Amino acid sequence: MIARRHQVALALTALLAAAATCQNQERQESAAPGRPGPAVARDFTLVASGDVLPHTSVIERAGFDAGGSGYDFRPMLSGVQPIVSRADLALCHMETVYGADGDYTGSPVFKSPPQIAEGLAATGYDGCSTASDHALDDGAAGIRRTLDAMDRTGLRHAGTARTEAEARSVTLFQAGLAKVAHLSYTYGTNGAPLPPGQPWAVQPVDANRMISDARAARLAGADVVVVSVHWGTDWQDAPDGLQLALAERLTASQTNGRPDIDLILGTHAHVPQAYEKVNGTWVVYGLGDQIAGETYNDRGVQDSRGNESTIGRFTFAPPARPGDRWRVTKAEYIPQMYDIDAGRVLDLNRAIADGAELEGVRDRIRDVVLSRGAAADGLVMVE
């Protein structure tokens, strides 16, 4: 429940601050006595990170960190805990499903220990996208175990479902005084068929459906709509044609002059990809793998890029007028790397400041992230 307590505490802080602001306004404007003024919204920060893809070596490391009894993923993520826990809303991407009773496997069919949900929640994540090409690695049972484990830790989820009603529901978060909807979709499931009678179990990429869902989220009260998309071509730094076309279509969609989608977060390609502002909306084509073991590219060669990623951090400001969109006033990224020898996720800037010779890795990530002109639109690396 750590993530839930983190979220509630931040919401409470925002409400107290808003109440104080309202009192000042009432004194200045001579508001009617006994009638409280409206709560004043403030900026909020959202952070998002890439694929959590525990290969066998990652599972073994979590077992070692637990002292040989169970699995502990908290040390693995401790290096980014300060960044994640300080955000008003923190989202991850859980690419794999969870196994049970010690039946845990890495590539090519993934079944991860459910304790990873505890590690993510302890790090400060509030929720995860779960639609991915591995979402059906263990059928409907895998989805159920995964979402059950997330529920036990207070970690919210979007993209897969145990029931039709759950699939039709909107995952809403409170970030300060803003309601944020999180939607999640995948390009496919590696050929695995949907469970019999459960066509709603995994949300597929479909532009019309995605726009319709975003509009439904608005009707459900969302001030900000965030869409996570599992897409792209493995090991390709540049976004592919599908990514570019879908990003253009989704960001162009509007209702009454207001964009239907406020942020797009991409995963799947195993490598960091560019950030870009499309039709005035930020798109992260690929966050990269936040956690993965040794990875081999499409030529069968071990490729260290599979252990590189970014955390995106976006500051949203409230609208100037009712009905307008919440605007991203600051867009930032933090370069990361999963150290496969130490079994730790590294904030690269922090690691370099501590003496690690990783400037080349950081610079490569920077070049890819900025490759589509994001710097001109204000994207900066957090130092």
CATH number of the domain within which 198 lies? 3.60.21.10
Find all residues with CB under 8 Å of 281, minimum gap 6, and list them.
251, 259, 261, 262, 263, 264
Whether residue 130 lies inside any domain: the answer is yes
Find all residues with CB under 8 Å of 126, minimum gap 6, and list them.
3, 4, 6, 7, 89, 90, 91, 155, 156, 173
Whether residue 24 lies inside any domain: the answer is no
Average pLDDT of the residues in 124-147: 98
Whether residue 3 lies inside any domain: the answer is no
Sign (positive/negative) of CA torsion 340, 343, 344, 345?
A: positive
3-state secondary structure of 75: helix
How many structural domains comprise the chain? 1
Whether residue 10 lies inside any domain: the answer is no
Asked if pLDDT for residue 61 goes beyond 70, the answer is: yes
Whether residue 9 lies inside any domain: the answer is no
Model confidence over 137-167: pLDDT tens digits?
999 999 999 999 999 999 999 999 999 999 9
Cα three-residue angle 156-157-158, rounded to 5 degrees = 145
Contact 371, 274 (CB under 8 A): yes
Strands 258-259 and 254-255: antiparallel
Sorting pLDDT into bands at 50, 70 and 90, what band is 328?
Answer: very high
In DSSP terms, 186 is beta-bridged to: 204, 230
Poorest-pLDDT segment among 189-193, 233-237, 308-312, 318-322: 318-322
Q: Give first-to-last CA distance, the chain, whole Å.
A: 31
Whether residue 73 lies inside any domain: the answer is yes
Whether residue 28 lies inside any domain: the answer is no
To the question of pTM greater than 0.85 for the whole model, the response is yes
- For 74, the domain range is 40-381
State the Cα–Cα distance between residues 327 and 348, nearest whole angstrom: 28
Q: What is the mean pLDDT of the chain?
A: 91
Whether residue 6 lies inside any domain: the answer is no
- Angstrom distances, CA of residue 238 to CA of 65, 138, 170, 241, 275: 36, 31, 31, 10, 10
Asked if pLDDT for residue 222 goes beyond 70, the answer is: yes
